Amino acid sequence: MARKRGFPEFPLFLLFMFVAGLHLLACPFTKVEESFNLQAVHDILYHRLDLEKYDHHEFPGVVPRTFLGPLFISALSTPMAGLLTFLEAPKFYMQIIVRGVLGLCVCLTLWNMQKEVRRQFGSLVASLFCLISASQFHLMFYSTRMLPNVFALPVVLLAFTSWMAQRQGRFICFSAFVIIVLRSELCLLLGLMLLMSLLSRRLSIPQLFYYAVPAGILSLGLTVCVDSVFWKKLLWPEGQELRFIIYTFPVFNIVAARGCSFILNNYQKSWRYKIGSLLIMGHLVANGVYSSVSLYVSHHNYPGGKAMQELHALVPSTSDVSLHIDVLAAQTGVSRFLELNSKWRYDKREDLAPGDPFLKTYSHILMEANSTQISLLSDSHKPLIFIQGYEHIEINVSRVPPLSIKLNSKLVVLERLPHSQYT
């Protein structure tokens, strides 16, 4: 197939890595949806075989999750964890590294997909696929997020690339693994692709069973054996949630890239194609602008993580600190990687109401910035610092830029009074 002019391959991989890394560094904290996988990676790296200390025993979540994804990321991150421990660097850097490793896996599989796109449709289509994907906020932003969907995404991309290349055995094996181990709802997407292969006679029924049966048995056996150890009971963990859309982004991007390539290749033929070419360029610019605004908003949307950083900066490391973390803080950025002082006591128990006398025994409390709740603790604690977070976007066309972010106090760190009866 003739190769139409486009960008060379390796700079496109660097583009993926740069954009994903930019999103990671701008928003280094995590939300509650990422909690299980992030805490699991932390526990594997730092507690290893001491399963009693693992976070999921205290906070199991709504449904059991598999440890295979966290085990894979932990294995790739172990050398850096050992180096940071040797250098006595804060654990928070390790949070950035493990998320970066996940982002690297996504970027590598996207780059692998563009290779197959380049082989089948030419370098211009492959280049446009990369530019469209890299400029999309959600794909790049979530590429480093410790979500079950994102753990599944690299495997889905490998399966789709194998399907494009008509490597049916690899496609079936990847599909079986990701459906059985990570996300069962993917049987809808991958099942339709399998049906297309059967109807087009690129795959026969005997071939299907030849690959699917052993792949299914091995995948099921692996997840049951490994996860039963971590959960301490015979278990096949799988959450039945329909979070489907992110897997389809790269597929739609290939279709969009082919359409854009057709318009650009016919640029000289008529004024319609010239206008279409301008619209394509405008679309990429609009994607970049939207991604920049969204990233700026997201940067201010993790007050829990910011509060933990501020607390460790304000309170001497030698102080005797017992910190209670409320639900809102735990949902907006707090993780085990932010428990930076091994001598401090961190507690996320959820059964303490703001007026509970036991709550007053903590030296510090990280909680929602609610004046009523703060007043209930006024006899024992005083505000140390208020943490602001995203409230809404304000538009004022008389200003440059016309968009601005309205912040509001979301969390407060309370410090126990020096002469409190609870000291």
Residue 2: the pLDDT is 43
Q: Is 133 or 401 the better-scoring residue by pLDDT?
A: 133
Alpha carbons within 13 A on the beta-carbon side of 304: 24
Q: Is 400 or 410 the better-scoring residue by pLDDT?
A: 410
Q: In a 10 Å sphere around its CB, with 0-12 CB exposed, 13-18 middle and 19+ buried, how is residue 272 labelled?
A: exposed
| C-alpha span between 356 and 352 (Å, rounded) | 6
Buried b (16+ CB within 10 A) or exposed e, 108-139: bbbbbbbebbbeebbbbbbbbbbbbbbbbbeb
| C-alpha span between 314 and 383 (Å, rounded) | 13
Residue 58: the pLDDT is 86
Q: What residues have CB less than 8 Å from 284, skipping those under 6 apart?
A: 131, 132, 135
Residue 54: the pLDDT is 93
C-alpha torsion sign, points 94, 328, 184, 245? negative
Q: What residues have CB less than 8 Å from 359, skipping those under 6 apart?
A: 324, 352, 353, 365, 377
User: Does the pLDDT value for residue 420 go beyond 90?
Assistant: no
Distances (CA, A) of 222 to 67, 171, 180, 211, 217: 11, 19, 10, 17, 8
Main-chain dihedrals φ then ψ at residue 246, nearest 5 degrees? -65, -30
Residue 238: the pLDDT is 73
Longest dimension (CA), the chain: 84
Distances (CA, A) of 381 to 110, 129, 233, 323, 408: 51, 55, 43, 12, 22
Lowest mean pLDDT among 43-52, 231-240, 317-326, 372-381: 231-240
For residues 122-145, average pLDDT: 96
Residue 245: the pLDDT is 77
Q: Give residue-wise pLDDT tens across range 164-223.
A: 999 999 999 999 999 999 998 899 999 999 999 999 999 999 999 999 999 999 999 999
Residue 242: the pLDDT is 54
Three-point CA angle 214, 215, 220, nearest 5°:
100
